[in-house]
Amino acid sequence: YQRRVHGGKFLYTNRRELNDKELGQFITKEENQEIFRSFISAIHFADLEIDCALRHMLHTFALPGEGQIVDRVIKIFSEKYFEENKETGEIKSDKAARALAFSVMLLNTDAHSTQVANKMTLKQFFRNNQGFNDGEDFSEELLTDIYNRITHDEFKLEANPLSESTKSGYLLVRRGSILAKKRWVILHDNVLYESVKPPVTGEKWKKDPPTAVLCLKGAKLEPPTTLSYTLTIHKDECDGDINKHVVPDCDVYTQWQPKKGPFFIKLSSTSSRDIKGWFTQIMKVLEKEEKKLKESSKKDKKKEKPKENNENKNKMDSPKDLQSLKSPKESKDKDPK
């Protein structure tokens, strides 16, 4: 059992070195359920909307298309998702999470399949999810946000580093006095990527490269306002190497560079729930960066202490110090010659 638990975490850590299809086939086998549970235990779903969490998980490996496998994967995913969000989210049980997760996958297929002529409307999506939350309805705000993200950005059942983002979606982006523009924003690791439209999964960002890349290291965050659903990111100065950030699945770098000195960026959403989600996830990134900085300073201090001890030791070993350690009697008895 212990081997299976550690094996799942090992596979997650090294997933990018492995063939995503073979990895998916292995961890989703019925006899490897404990390995799969261990695999997704390394993924944090807390404070994520269910479609964002599902997207994140499904891009760490290639999910086989068999119905029984998909059902098993969604069941295990829903249990973990509900466990991490039961105190803060509106989803009332793992069964409700499972029903909504399946609904998300059906919406994704309906919205992006060329074989479906009449696409599902938002009202139909509401109707399809009535009573799924343990007999009650999910809020319209939750379902609207999910519908907008899924219909604008397809997620495929294949591994993709960029799609392992914490959060993504359309926002109005304003920098200083420049007019706000609608941009697809992706939060990946500690970097915000902006593009005119969502990148094509599994392909390079060649036709529509990121219009801007912002490293959140050293940034300060102002919470969203109640009326405008807007949050503000402040930085004292632009990173000198902002244009050198590696963009996943892209061989083109950003063209935008702010002026020297302090600057700010405003991100606005049409939904209170959505902008609060962005605020929570960016705050987690900033807290993580602050923790890294403290740990780094502690390590530097530890390195300095042995150096000081060695310097003191060398000083004590010098001839002058040894001479001074001699007793007064030894000094008097010494031959003047």
Question: pLDDT tens, 41-64?
Answer: 988 898 889 998 998 898 888 888
- Measured CA distances, 211 to 44, 177, 195, 259, 324 (Å): 28, 17, 5, 16, 69
Average pLDDT, stretch 189-209? 68
- Give the residue, 208 or 173, on which the prediction is more confident: 173
Whether the CB-CB separation of 46 and 56 falls below 8 Å is answered with: no
pLDDT at 203 over 70: no
pLDDT at 122 over 90: yes
- Output the pLDDT for position 260: 61
- Give the residue, 20 or 83, on which the prediction is more confident: 83
Q: To 10 degrees, the CA torsion angle through 278, 284, 286, 290?
A: 170
pLDDT at 331 over 50: no
- Output the pLDDT for position 192: 85
- Give the residue, 249 or 74, on which the prediction is more confident: 74
Distance of CA 161 to the CA centre of its chain: 11
pLDDT at 254 over 70: no
- Output the pLDDT for position 310: 55
pLDDT at 238 over 90: no
Q: How many CA atoms lie within 13 A of 213 on its CB side?
A: 22
Mean pLDDT of the chain: 79
Q: Which two tokens stand for residue 262?
A: 């302090």
Task: Please report, in angstroms and rounded to a whole number, the separation of the first and last CA atoms in the chain.
Answer: 81
Task: Please name the amino acid found at residue 41.
Answer: S
Position 246 confidence tier, pLDDT thresholds 50, 70, 90: very low
Sign of the Cα pseudo-torsion (186, 114, 49, 183, in order): positive
Task: Please name the amino acid found at residue 146.
Answer: I
Which residue from 268, 55, 275 is spatially nearest to 171, judged by alpha carbons? Answer: 268
Distance CA 94, CA 75 (A): 8
pLDDT at 131 over 80: yes
**Exposed, middle or buried: residue 33 (CB in 10 Å: 0-12, 13-18, 19+)?**
middle
**Burial profile 311-332: b = 16 or more Cβ within 10 angstroms, e = fewer:** eeeeeeeeeeeeeeeeeeeeee
